[in-house]
């Protein structure tokens, strides 16, 4: 029969203290549908829905990547979606090590047979989905977003993780499948 498809992505897990601060920020801003604490992460590669065999190949490819630990810094908030903002996120300061790692992961995933989109990587931590009609909350005030001087870091990145994401009612359920250490 047809094998089951697994929705998966690779991401950087954030330290608990940073996630706690991001949750307090969500609470203070009161906009949209907040991403729950356990789902706060920095996505590196969205792999889409994969057959298990392809996911195994991706895992093998990821486990062969050698990269050194680095640090990242979150600085300020921003919106995706132009005039109709859909996502509120924390910005990541420009980071060549992060970009290099991301491009290697995307390439490894493609080589392993995953259909990874080739668009520009905009590192971010999604904080809330802004579906104003559904949430009934106030309109987004761009000035409030621009002036929220949130800062976190430098955050050490010593590993990356592969997650499966199961959709259902409410927020996606993310489960860690594998973790790949970075080392010098």
Active site residues: 41, 124
Neighbours of 96 (CB within 10 A): 8
Q: Is 129 in the site for ligand 3AM (CB under 6 A)?
A: no
Q: Please enumerate in sequence order all residues whose Cβ is within 8 A of that of 43, keeping only pairs 6 or more positions apart, or say none.
A: 9, 10, 11, 124, 126
CA distance 86 to 45: 20
With contacts defined by CB under 6 A, how many residues of the chain interact with ligand 3AM? 6
Q: Is 9 in the site for ligand 3AM (CB under 6 A)?
A: yes
Q: Is 121 in the site for ligand 3AM (CB under 6 A)?
A: no
H helices of the chain, where? 16-29, 52-63, 96-111, 132-135, 142-147
Contact mark string toward ligand 3AM, 54..93, x via CB under 6 A = ----------------------------------------
Give the phi and the psi of residue 122 in degrees, each rounded to 5. Answer: -115, 95
Q: Which of 33, 36, 46, 93 binds ligand 3AM (CB under 6 A)?
A: 46
Beta carbon of residue 16, minimum distance to ligand 3AM (angstroms, whole number)? 18
Beta carbon of residue 9, minimum distance to ligand 3AM (angstroms, whole number)? 4
């Amino acid at each position: 029969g047809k094998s089951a498809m697994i929705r998966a992505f690779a991401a950087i897990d954030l330290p608990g203290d940073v996630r706690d601060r991001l949750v307090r920020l969500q609470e203070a801003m009161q906009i949209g549908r907040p991403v729950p604490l356990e789902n706060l992460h920095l996505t590196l590669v969205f792999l889409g829905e994969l057959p298990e065999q392809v996911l195994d190949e991706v895992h093998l490819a990821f486990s062969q990547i050698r990269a050194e630990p680095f640090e990242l810094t979150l600085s300020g908030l921003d919106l995706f979606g132009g005039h109709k903002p859909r996502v509120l996120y924390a910005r990541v300061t420009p980071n060549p090590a992060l970009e290099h790692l991301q491009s290697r992961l995307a390439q490894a995933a493609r080589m392993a047979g995953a259909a990874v989109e080739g668009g520009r990587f905009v590192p971010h931590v999604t904080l809330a989905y802004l579906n104003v009609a559904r949430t009934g909350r106030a309109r987004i005030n761009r000035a409030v977003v621009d002036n929220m001087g949130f800062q976190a870091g430098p955050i050490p990145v010593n590993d990356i993780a592969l997650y499966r994401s199961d959709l259902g009612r409410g927020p996606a359920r993310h489960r860690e499948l594998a973790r790949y250490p970075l080392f010098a």
